[in-house]
Structure 1
């Protein structure tokens, strides 16, 4: 009888080991991640375009991109946005499953002093046509991409009233080359929106 119990336990363990997903399973293949592909190509392009001595600015860009690449390699598949502007900001996030949108993402609204929750993929920040950003030469509405594994903070400079991003080399999305909805509206219009409610765990 004792032998049968032991045999049963061993059988259950073996079956579980063969059919169940092991806890040490490989992380998602980051080499297929669009952000990873883009970062890798940009690093290669910068390195190929430098002949001899690399300027300090270019080396700084390469270092930042390699840091972003390492963050994606860690298995992080979502970005995060933080609003410190004193106003509501518009951000880009996942398209709901029931949506028939032709765009790759959807606009949401993040209240002042709020951060998108862990696991919710903030893909970018929308900057209205009448908002000046210190690190960008924007003359109209633009969208800034948030790489996976990165937190993009947007805050207002109290002296200049300009917005500042914590990523000096932030990627600006070209509406002609992407499926991002980039409307030409004012900050006052964004302020009139009710902040969104974010469900956690959607992108874990």
Structure 2
């Protein structure tokens, strides 16, 4: 009888492991602040689509902005994982991340070749002054004169990679927002890439 009880307990434990859902399962990104902001702006711009100057855009600029917002909306409606950042720059990368209900968004350091764990939300990336960066797919490299933080919407699977020809950091998706020091609520320290390279990567991001 004791053996049967032990067997049944073990069987229940194994079944629970087999059917247990990952921490992000069932996550509805359409209930977050990002989704609300994107849909509100999208709806507002659609009302002036025939008169883009009312929103301060040229027709081409308005169409580009609408396309980006529609893409962000689609990401949040279809994403199955929390936002993750993949560092393919070959150097240490500053990333902004939070662990839902446990740790607020702050700056961490992600080693080259690493991706943040899906228990975390990787909200964005820190780029120091002097960085050559391409902020949009098919865009042109620009050298930053001051540090910036780029923010992605919930569910974004972002990749930062270094172009071997130009040496510029390229992003696979356009950021939803770009912050400079004094803008937004994220801390933007004054760090060079050389200083970032000396930082110990944050082990909790990849657990």
Aligned residue pairs total: 171
In structure 2, the residue matched to 1:13 is none
Residue in structure 2 matching 1:83, options 65, 83, 87: 87
TM-score normalised per structure 2: 0.69
Deviation at 1:127, TM superposition (A): 0.4
Deviation at 1:190, TM superposition (A): 0.4
User: Secondary structure, in 3 states, of the residue corresponding to 1:176?
Assistant: coil
**Which whole-Å CA distance do the structure 2 matches of 1:96 and 1:150 have between them?**
16
Deviation at 1:57, TM superposition (A): 4.6
**Which whole-Å CA distance do the structure 2 matches of 1:51 and 1:98 have between them?**
45
Structure 2 counterparts to residues 40-119 of structure 1, below 5 A: 40-51=39-50, 55-74=59-78, 76=80, 78-94=82-98, 104-119=104-119
Deviation at 1:47, TM superposition (A): 2.2
- Cα 1:119/1:57, change in 2 over 3 Å: farther
- Cα 1:50/1:98, change in 2 over 3 Å: closer
In structure 1, the residue matched to 2:37 is 38
Q: What is the CA RMSD across the aligned residues, in angstroms?
A: 2.9
Residue in structure 2 matching 1:155, options 154, 161, 178: 161
User: Secondary structure, in 3 states, of the residue corresponding to 2:132?
Assistant: coil
In structure 1, the residue matched to 2:173 is 167
**Which whole-Å CA distance do the structure 1 matches of 2:183 and 2:47 have between them?**
24
- Cα 1:137/1:59, change in 2 over 3 Å: farther
TM-score normalised per structure 1: 0.70
- Cα 1:62/1:142, change in 2 over 3 Å: same
In structure 1, the residue matched to 2:6 is none
Deviation at 1:87, TM superposition (A): 0.4
> Deviation per CA, 1:133-176, whole angstroms, max 9, x where unpaired?
12367420000002111111111112221111112354202543
